[in-house]
Amino acid sequence: MNAGQKQLEIEHGRRIAEKAEKIWKRDRLVGRKRLENRLADIKSFSAGLEGASALEIGCGTGLWTRELLSLKCRLTAVDISPDLLKRAKENAGGGVEFIEGDAENLPFPDGSFDFACGLSILHHLELPRALVEVFRALKPGGKIWFSEPNMMNPHVALQKNVPFLKRLSGDTPSETAFFKRPLHKAVAAAGFEDVEVKPFDFLYPWLPDFLVAPADIVGKRLERIPLLKEISGSLIIHAKKPIAKKY
């Protein structure tokens, strides 16, 4: 992002800080279930994070940060918005080091973390630059996990491309969504190996509470059906930084 876009992101954070949970539907059962499913995927992908150094990129209001604390890792959370960071500190409580910073210029030395993750953050950023920075900040053998919106999903496609719906959904003008194959290619181009980009989550953010449990059951079945799974709401990224060769 250029300086103007970064300032827009900071201003956007200021505007939504007090109502972000409602905008992102994380104050409702469906939002909490979506976080729960993502945490289960992290635990399956990256077992043994207890005591490891972990970085959350784009922590927002800290509700996801609070979930990550259950991994019992040494957690650092970064966000460009001071207003969102203030809310994150209130929501997540202790046990996290919060840092105001730019994901495209991370304020950490090379090889600082065993694990890095983010929830709906990469689509706000200049993707190649952000991935290279995450790669740099990881230790050899470190893993990444990200959840991003899937442009193949009809609802996501409308939300990201129709200006009225972008405003209604609380999006910034520049944020977008990803297609699976180009996203996979970008992650690999940044230097990561064992790259997997998988369709994930059919839980519609506006679902009423009584439909969340049955919709979750159906959605998990849809995630296993070829072709149909491609229109899921999200894409999950799994990848690893190669271990340095020994000479």
Q: For the residues 184-211, what does the mean pLDDT come to?
A: 95
200, β-bridge pairs: 234
Q: For the residues 144-153, what does the mean pLDDT come to?
A: 97
Q: Structure tokens of 170?
A: 């609380």
247 within a domain of the structure (yes/no):
no
245 within a domain of the structure (yes/no):
no
The CATH number assigned to the domain holding 208 equals 3.40.50.150
Total-model pTM: 0.91
**C-beta atoms surrounding 117 within 10 Å:** 26
pLDDT in tens, 207-239: 999 999 999 999 999 999 999 999 999 999 999
Q: For the residues 122-142, what does the mean pLDDT come to?
A: 96
pLDDT in tens, 62-102: 989 999 999 999 999 999 999 999 999 988 888 899 999 99
28 within a domain of the structure (yes/no):
yes
183 within a domain of the structure (yes/no):
yes
246 within a domain of the structure (yes/no):
no
182 within a domain of the structure (yes/no):
yes
Q: Structure tokens of 188?
A: 């690999």
Structural domains in the chain (count)? 1
pLDDT for the residue 247:
33
98 within a domain of the structure (yes/no):
yes
117 within a domain of the structure (yes/no):
yes
Q: Structure tokens of 106?
A: 């991370």
Residue-number span of the structural domain to which 42 is assigned = 3-240
What does DSSP say about strands 234-240 and 193-200: parallel, antiparallel, or unpaired?
A: antiparallel
Which of the four pLDDT bands, split at 50, 70 and 90, describes residue 246? very low
Which run of H or E residues covers position 221? helix 209-222
